């Protein structure tokens, strides 16, 4: 088993070297930073799916939450907003939200004053409606005001990006708690559909709340936690080596985060907590008969996994320096992660790590590779008198979706447990 | 009366059209879930693929110079449905049947269906690019404007020819499906297998045949839904990928495994989406004359802004899963 893992990681290293040699160091260093962030996200999914057997198909939503969080924390302050009536109006909207929440909570306690059954249901619906109208009546003017006169959007806080990453994790945890409370009672495929639905709701909100996230107008440039290439160039370095130096700095920071997370979750996996989680995953009825609180533990693991997704999403956004809500797609940000974990090996952290790096490289390389193949075929067909293939650029950009689908179907058919499968220890 | 005609144009017609498409897609999903017990995500690609098959056939018809009185898309629909059914059978044979034989869990099949989604989508984009196509490049899209001045309206009732045909075809296929499920031997076998697969097999039902029939019906209906959606709007590679979740919502709201529930769920989601973004001021504007000054209707009085239209389906989905996970028609429980 160890030998096989080492051989696979050795192969991956050779692949990285080949890509570095063919595509150049600046390209490869960027891809490696992204691969590190994706590895963090894949570890998050591995906790949820591999340890806990939870079917989270809403990864995209958590990545977006992380990205919005790091934008909010690390982007420079927008003085125009803070000097306007905007904060005051937002405060009123928050107050309306709180009152709405109180109304709903009160309606849910209606049985105490003797309203039960259908009447209570009707009252709850009515309370939700009143709360919604109340909140909208305060938020809509505030949003319209901020977007037109109050500085365009809220802006950031100007704090250090690493704080933004942490906040991304915290925010993702909060949302995961709510989502988990709502959905975790559902069976697997219902859970998958419900989480996809929730991630689409999150995407619609972030995309359209222009006053908070600037929506489709996008936010850039988001600061880096490490020195930028421009900083190195100011010190007299040439462009190519400044790119490499800056990205190497970012990569080191990302790898440090990754190593800490890896150490923590590996310890958790082999400890009593991890054993309990696997017991729940394999037979939750037996686990609950041993006195384990299955619902609470599953909620716990859902929140932990989502924290990593939030942090990973934040790292990606601060690396590319732009937060563009319309660039988030379920294929790139949910299904890709699933393929990473399944191909790598669900339940095994090294497998998830391996799958993340491998699949990210396959994902980014399949476009230039298929372009090369198309160019070759086109050259051949032109010589044979059949004419060239039209629109090679656009077509090869679509090839990676096909490659991703192919990889996952092959993996499910021939290596359903992944390339580095989970090691099942049998004690005693 | 102008306001009521506007309401019919904006809500009744478009909600009905949307609901028909959701219902046709949801029937396939619900049948597959009932028989094979997994959520088939690649259904969206069956819809898009079917629409592209119909588009190719229609283009071929146009190239041969065959002119038809109704839109060519509807003329080629039966042939396209047959091809789409064969495609669905092929996908099952190539991707799902080996996994089923191995005894894989429904979750694995769900992930496999996502893989199939990605592959078909990649192939469609490879051959057709990312642009959009129209069925009405060689023929006009007929629009009926029914004059309603007799009942005192200044606005005509607008409905396009594909929309009329779509509603008729959907009704016809739903009735046909109803008779198939309740009267024919195979239909009864399907319902028996959806109820209890093991018992059905023991009592001598050819389950392999039932599975094949399920794929044929699902593929044909998906092709029908996709083509009609493409006829109503435009044909693009992500035609159905964007509406697969509302379709799932329709299937779940109706109760997974319940064919009639899927129809009701589809119409419910379709109308909910259009009603939620409808600007109610347009309907109640005449009331402004009677209402006191402090209670005048605002210019915008929609439940949610237009950009959240698709979100409505997700909210209904999540609320259904929480409050009544079996759906309105008591489908498979969660």
3-state secondary structure A7-74: HHHHHHHHHHHHHHHHHCHHHHHHHHHHHHHHHHHHHHHHHHHHHCCCCCCCHHHHHHHHHHHHHHHH
Element (H, E) at B332: none
Report CB contact under 8 Å: B118, A399.
Answer: no
B19-72 confidence digits (pLDDT tens): 999 999 999 999 999 888 888 999 999 999 999 999 999 988 888 877 778 888
B248 contacts on A by Cβ (under 8 Å): 193
Query: How far apart, in whole angstroms, are the C-alpha atoms of residue B134 and residue B233?
Result: 8
Question: Residue A329: which residues within 8 A CB-CB, separation 6 or more?
Answer: A60
Whole-model pTM: value is 0.90
Residues in chain B: 334
Secondary structure letter of residue B235 according to DSSP: B
Q: Where are the domains of chain A?
A: 2-78+153-379+388-414, 79-152
Domain containing B232: what range?
A: 2-323
In the 8-state DSSP scheme, what is residue B133? B
Number of domains in chain B: 1
The answer, yes or no, to whether residue B1 has pLDDT greater than 80, is no
* C-alpha–C-alpha distance, residues B27 and A336, integer Å: 29
Q: What is the CATH number of the domain that holds B91?
A: 1.10.3470
Confirm if B81 and B223 have CB atoms less than 8 A apart: yes
Would you call B115 and A405 a contact, using CB atoms and an 8 Å cutoff? yes
Residue B330 included in any domain: no
Q: What is the pLDDT of residues A378-397, one digit of tens each?
A: 888 888 777 667 777 777 77
Cα–Cα dist A60/A58, whole Å: 5
Q: Considering the domain boundaries, does residue B329 fall inside one? A: no
pLDDT exceeds cutoff 90 at B277: no
User: What is the distance in angstroms between the Cα of B39 and the nearest Cα belonging to chain A?
Assistant: 6
Q: Compute the distance between CA of residue A70 and CA of residue A90 in angstroms, rounded to an integer.
A: 20
Given A186, A189, A402, which is nearest B106 (Cβ)? Answer: A189
Residue in chain B closest to A196 (alpha carbons) equals B245
The reply to whether residue B126 touches residue A395, judged by beta carbons under 8 angstroms, is yes
**Token pair listed for A44:** 């998050």
The residue of chain A with its CA nearest to that of B99 is A413
> Which residue carries 């347009």 as its tokens?
B282
Could you tell me if residue B35 is inside a domain? Answer: yes
- Residues belonging to chain A with any Cβ–Cβ distance to chain B shorter than 8 Å: 55, 182-183, 185-190, 192-194, 196-198, 200-201, 204, 207-208, 331, 335, 338-339, 342, 391, 394-395, 398-406, 408-409, 412-413, 416
CA distance B80 to B57: 7
Q: Is the ipTM of this complex over 0.90?
A: no
- H helices within B184-308, ranges in order? 185-195, 197-202, 207-232, 244-254, 259-277, 281-284
- Specify the higher pLDDT residue, A7 or B136: A7
CA distance B71 to B22: 22
What's the CATH code, domain A2-78+153-379+388-414? 1.10.3470
Q: Is residue B144 part of a domain?
A: yes
> Which residue reads 């699949």 in tokens?
A359
- The answer to whether A401 touches B125, Cβ cutoff 8 Å, is yes
**Residue-level pLDDT at B333:** 43
Three-state DSSP at B159 gives strand
The candidate with the shortest Cα–Cα distance to A90, out of A188, A172, A209, A10, is: A209
**Position B334 confidence tier, pLDDT thresholds 50, 70, 90:** very low
Conformational region of residue A164, where left means phi above 0, alpha means psi within -120 to 50, and beta covers everything else: alpha
pLDDT digits (tens, 9 = 90+) for A314-357: 999 999 999 999 889 888 889 999 999 999 988 889 999 999 99
* pLDDT (tens digit per residue) in B279-310: 887 787 777 778 777 777 777 778 888 888 88
A154: exposed, middle or buried (C-beta count within 10 Å: 0-12, 13-18, 19+)? buried
Residues B227-257: tens digit of each pLDDT: 999 998 889 888 888 889 899 999 988 888 8
Chain A residues touching residue B334 (CB < 8 angstroms): 185-187, 190
Question: With contacts defined as CB-CB under 8 Å, which chain B residues touch A189?
Answer: 38-39, 106-107, 110
Residue showing tokens 């932990």? A304
Instruction: Verify whether the Cβ–Cβ distance A398 to B112 is below 8 Å.
Output: no
Q: Exposed e or buried b for every residue in A9-41, given b needs 16+ CB within 10 A?
A: beeeeeebeebbeeeeebebbbbbbbbbbbbbb
Output phi, psi for B280, to 5 deg: -65, -20
- Listed in sequence order, the residues at least 6 apart from A116 whose beta carbon sits closer than 8 Å to its beta carbon are A110
């Amino acid at each position: 088993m160890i030998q096989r893992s080492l051989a696979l990681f050795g192969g991956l290293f050779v692949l990285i070297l080949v890509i570095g040699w063919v595509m150049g160091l600046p390209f490869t260093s960027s891809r490696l930073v992204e691969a590190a962030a994706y590895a963090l996200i894949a570890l998050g999914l591995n906790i949820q799916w591999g340890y806990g057997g939870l079917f989270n198909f809403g990864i995209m939503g958590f990545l977006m939450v992380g990205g919005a969080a790091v934008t909010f924390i690390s982007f420079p302050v927008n003085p125009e907003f803070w000097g306007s009536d905007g904060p005051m109006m937002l405060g009123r909207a928050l107050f309306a939200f709180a009152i709405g929440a109180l109304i709903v909570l009160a309606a849910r306690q209606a049985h105490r004053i003797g309203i039960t059954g259908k009447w209570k249901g009707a009252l709850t619906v009515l309370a939700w409606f009143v709360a919604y109208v109340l909140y909208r009546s305060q938020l809509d003017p505030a949003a319209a005001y901020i977007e037109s006169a109050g500085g365009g959007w809220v802006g950031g806080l100007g704090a250090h990006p690493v704080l933004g990453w942490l906040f991304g994790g915290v925010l993702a945890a909060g949302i995961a708690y709510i989502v988990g409370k709502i959905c975790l009672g559902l069976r697997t495929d219902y859970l998958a559909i419900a989480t996809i639905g929730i991630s689409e709701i999150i995407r619609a909100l972030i995309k359209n709340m222009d006053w908070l996230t600037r929506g489709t107008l996008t936010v850039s440039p988001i600061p880096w936690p490490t020195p930028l290439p421009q900083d190195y160039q100011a010190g007299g370095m040439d462009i190519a080596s400044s790119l490499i130096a800056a990205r190497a700095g970012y990569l080191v920071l990302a790898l440090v985060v990754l190593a800490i997370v890896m150490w923590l979750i590996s310890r958790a996996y082999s400890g009593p907590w991890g054993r309990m989680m696997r017991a729940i995953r394999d037979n939750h009825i037996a686990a609950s008969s041993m006195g384990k609180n299955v619902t609470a533990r599953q909620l716990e693991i859902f929140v932990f996994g989502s924290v990593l997704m939030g942090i990973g999403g934040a790292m990606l956004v601060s690396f590319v320096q732009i937060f563009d809500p319309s660039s988030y797609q379920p294929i790139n940000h949910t299904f890709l992660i699933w393929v990473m974990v399944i191909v790598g090996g669900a339940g095994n952290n090294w497998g998830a790590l391996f799958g993340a790096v491998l699949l990210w490289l396959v994902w980014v390389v399949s476009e230039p590779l298929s372009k090369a193949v198309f160019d070759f075929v086109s050259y051949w067909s032109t010589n044979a008198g059949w004419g060239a293939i039209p629109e090679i650029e656009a077509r090869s950009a679509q090839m990676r979706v096909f490659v991703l689908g192919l990889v996952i179907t092959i993996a499910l058919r021939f290596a359903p447990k992944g390339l580095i499968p989970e090691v099942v220890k049998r004690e005693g | 009366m102008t306001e009521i005609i506007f309401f019919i144009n904006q809500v009744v017609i478009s909600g009905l059209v949307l609901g028909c498409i959701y219902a046709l897609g949801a029937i396939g999903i619900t049948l597959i879930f009932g028989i094979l017990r997994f959520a088939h995500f690649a259904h969206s690609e069956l819809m898009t693929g079917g629409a592209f098959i119909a588009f190719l056939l229609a283009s071929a018809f146009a190239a041969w110079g065959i002119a038809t009185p109704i839109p060519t898309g509807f003329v080629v629909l039966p042939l396209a449905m047959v091809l789409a059914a064969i495609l669905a059978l092929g996908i099952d044979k190539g991707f799902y049947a080996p996994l089923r034989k191995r005894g894989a869990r429904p979750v694995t099949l769900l992930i496999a269906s996502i893989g199939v989604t990605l592959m078909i989508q990649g192939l469609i984009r490879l051959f057709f690019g990312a642009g959009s196509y129209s069925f009405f490049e060689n023929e006009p899209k007929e629009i009926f404007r029914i004059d309603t001045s007799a009942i005192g309206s200044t606005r005509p009732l607008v409905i396009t020819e594909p929309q009329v045909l779509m509603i008729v075809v959907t009704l016809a296929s739903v009735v046909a499906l109803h008779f198939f499920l309740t009267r024919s031997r195979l239909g009864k076998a399907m319902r028996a297998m959806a109820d209890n697969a093991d018992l059905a097999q023991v009592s001598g039902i050819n389950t392999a045949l039932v599975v094949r029939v399920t794929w044929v019906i699902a593929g044909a209906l998906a092709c029908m839904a996709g083509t009609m959606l493409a006829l109503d709007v435009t044909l693009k590679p992500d035609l159905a990928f964007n509406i697969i979740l509302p379709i799932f919502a329709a299937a779940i709201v109706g109760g997974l495994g319940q064919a009639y529930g899927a129809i009701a769920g589809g119409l419910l989601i379709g109308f909910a989406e259009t009603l939620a973004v409808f600007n109610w001021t347009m309907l109640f504007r005449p009331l402004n004359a009677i209402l006191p000054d402090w209670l005048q209707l605002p210019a915008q009085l929609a439940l949610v802004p237009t950009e959240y239209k698709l979100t409505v389906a997700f909210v209904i989905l999540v609320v259904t899963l929480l409050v009544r996970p079996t759906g309105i028609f008591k489908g498979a429980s969660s």
